[in-house]
Amino acid sequence: MKPSASLRAASLIQSRFSYLHIPKLLLAIEGQASPSLAMGFVMETMPVDSSQASVCDFCKPCEKCLQDEELNSICSQFPGMSLGGCIMVLQQCHLFNEGEDGAECVQKKFNEIMRVSQYFGSMAAPRWFLGMGWVFGRRIVDYIWRNVENLKKRGAADVQLGFWLAPLEDVHWVDMKGGYFHDYPMPGSTFSAGCTERSTLVHRMDAERWKGFDPETCELRCPASAAG
């Protein structure tokens, strides 16, 4: 396979703290080569103000969280948030702010949600990509480069992308769900998946998880299931 055509079509790859299997990515791009390519884990629904999310979106069955006295005690400290919004923020605190006081972390993230909502001037984001990694074609890269001074650059990077791409005609969306792009397999992470022959990008790598990387074959050995 000659990767040059693919590399021209996909001239920007963003991948932070992720394992990326480049041969698999090039194969995926080969069939989708377009200057308007936008490839990643596509998200269709994203409230910018997620503080009012439904509890049933994050807790199944809903009654489990509705009847959780400890959870309700914590979330009752934040009357401006729904129980669902509070649960979502607590999950983020657990994943990204381990060791920080729970109530303090929730308050910080609630303040950030309110700030971002006002900044974007919208209650919801256009179609966007999870921040685990994405690929853009030349036309989109040129658009971002030419307009970088006028694009929104504060708030969550993945949400920003939704607003950046919204005004563009004929974006060639390629969704890498289904085990191609995913978080490292671990319980409690919404976007985790087990590693399979499909795994092209694996996000949330750390020093311990990189021990499963074989430098001889460039393959990543990781669990086949996200179950704990």
- d(CA 45, CA 64) in angstroms, rounded, equals 24
For residue 228, what pLDDT is reported?
60
In this structure, are residues 34 and 172 in contact, taking their beta carbons and an 8 Å threshold? yes
pLDDT of 155 strictly over 80? no
Among 64-78, 83-97, 104-118, 162-176, which range has the highest average pLDDT?
162-176
Mean per-residue pLDDT, 190-209: 93
pTM, two decimals, is: 0.68
Annotate 121-139 with DSSP letters as a single string: T-SBPPSEEEEEEEEE-HH
Instruction: Considering only CA atoms, give the Rg of the chain.
Output: 19
Average pLDDT over all residues of the chain? 85
Q: Where are the beta strands (DSSP E) in 64-211?
A: 128-136, 172-175, 181-183, 201-203
Q: What is the pLDDT of residues 54-103, one digit of tens each?
A: 888 878 888 989 999 988 998 999 888 889 888 888 888 887 776 677 78
Token reading at 26:
């090039």
Q: What confidence score (pLDDT) does residue 226 get?
A: 83
pLDDT score at 11: 34
Q: What is the pLDDT of residue 57?
A: 81
